[in-house]
């Protein structure tokens, strides 16, 4: 036994794998094992803690979702009423578009309805106002015509701005005409013809001395021009009704900023 022990020790010394530089191949260091095990424990604890902490966070985020990402199972009464009125407006406007195309029920009267619509265009009214202003020789007439010209220009700008904001299409896919492009009347809401004829009729009723039959004809003309835009398929009913309202508001605006005779004479002399 004593002789065998020195021999085994000599063998161990002579074994290359027992050297210090090769010990890590056979027996990993205890420090490495401990560090690895501790790192594993820490990672597992961190994962468990993250899972526990992420749970309440996700719940809070799900509870704080914006309203547009949530399904509205119970819409408000206002939303239901608005959508219902919008659907009725579209349906009735399509039914009343009897002259929308040649194949419609009143397709033969399309040219007459277009001619009626031309009487409410802004370009003919502006051109006629300028011609009358050049030929007018009285101060009162020039004052009325200058304010009428201001009202027409304001109508074009206000309606064009509102249409650009709303960008509502008509009930039928109908391309605007040349005069519509000149007055920037390319969208449906509000109806430019309706606002213009409402403003003009109210302007003439206030500043011209007209007989009762002419007053009635003026109002009927405004109503016919407005609703002819529904018959031609360019506007909805609500577009025309809102156009009448905006036309009256534009008249009130012109009355507030009414230019005096001296101001009109100064502008005419500059022109």
Summarize pLDDT for 24-37 with one digit per residue, the tens.
444 544 444 554 55
Answer yes or no: is pLDDT of 54 > 50: no
Answer yes or no: is pLDDT of 174 > 70: yes
**Backbone dihedral angles phi then psi of residue 121, each to the nearest 5 degrees:** -70, 150
Cβ atoms < 10 Å from Cβ of 160: 17
Mean pLDDT, all residues of the chain: 78
Catalytic residue numbers, as ranges: 193, 235
Q: What is the mean pLDDT of residues 180-194?
A: 85
pLDDT per residue as tens digits for the range 196-235:
999 999 999 999 888 999 999 999 999 999 999 999 888 8
Residues 139, 266: contact at Cβ < 8 Å? no
* Residue 237 pLDDT: 93
Most confident of 39-48, 93-102, 138-147, 164-173: 138-147
* Residue 109 pLDDT: 83
Distances (CA, A) of 244 to 13, 70, 232, 239: 111, 39, 18, 9
Most confident of 9-13, 48-52, 84-88: 84-88
Confidence at 240, pLDDT banded by 50, 70, 90: very high
Q: Name the more confident of 169 and 56.
A: 169
Q: What is the mean pLDDT of residues 65-77?
A: 54
* Residue 215 pLDDT: 94
Burial 222-243 (b: 16+ CB within 10 A, else e): bebbbbbbbbbbbbbbbbbbbb
Answer yes or no: is pLDDT of 106 > 60: yes
Residues 191, 240: contact at Cβ < 8 Å? yes
CA distance 250 to 255: 9
pLDDT above 90 coverage of the chain, percent: 33
* Residue 51 pLDDT: 45
Quote the tokens at residue 32.
């490495």
Distances (CA, A) of 177 to 118, 200, 227, 237: 10, 22, 18, 20
Specify the length of the chain in residues. 271
Distances (CA, A) of 113 to 46, 108, 128, 178: 78, 10, 21, 16
Confidence at 69, pLDDT banded by 50, 70, 90: very low
Answer yes or no: is pLDDT of 44 > 90: no
Residues 97, 236: contact at Cβ < 8 Å? no
Q: What is the mean pLDDT of residues 47-60?
A: 49
């Amino acid at each position: 036994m004593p002789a065998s022990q020195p021999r085994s020790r000599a063998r161990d010394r002579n074994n290359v794998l027992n050297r210090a530089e090769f010990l890590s191949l056979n027996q990993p260091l205890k420090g490495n094992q401990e560090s690895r095990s501790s790192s594993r424990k820490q990672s597992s604890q961190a994962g468990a803690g993250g899972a526990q902490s992420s749970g309440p966070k996700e719940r809070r985020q799900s509870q704080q979702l914006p309203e547009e990402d949530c399904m509205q199972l119970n819409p408000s009464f206002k939303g239901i009423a608005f959508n219902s009125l919008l659907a009725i407006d579209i349906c009735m406007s399509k039914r009343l578009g009897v002259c929308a195309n040649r194949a419609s029920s009143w397709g033969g009267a399309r040219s007459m309805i277009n001619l009626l619509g031309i009487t409410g265009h802004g370009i003919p009214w502006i051109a006629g106002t300028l011609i009358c202003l050049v030929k007018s020789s009285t101060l009162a007439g020039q004052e009325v015509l200058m304010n009428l010209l201001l009202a027409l220009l304001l109508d074009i700008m206000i309606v064009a701005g509102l249409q650009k904001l709303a960008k509502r299409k008509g009930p039928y896919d109908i391309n605007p005409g040349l005069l519509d492009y000149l007055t920037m009347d390319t969208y449906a809401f509000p109806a430019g013809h309706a606002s213009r004829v409402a403003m003009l009729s109210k302007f003439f009723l206030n500043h011209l001395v007209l007989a009762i039959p002419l007053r009635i004809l003026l109002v009927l003309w405004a109503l016919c021009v407005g609703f002819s835009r529904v018959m031609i398929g360019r506007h909805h009913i609500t577009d025309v009704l809102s156009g009448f309202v905006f036309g009256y508001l534009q008249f009130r605006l012109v009355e507030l900023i009414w230019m005096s005779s001296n101001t009109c004479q100064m502008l005419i002399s500059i022109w």
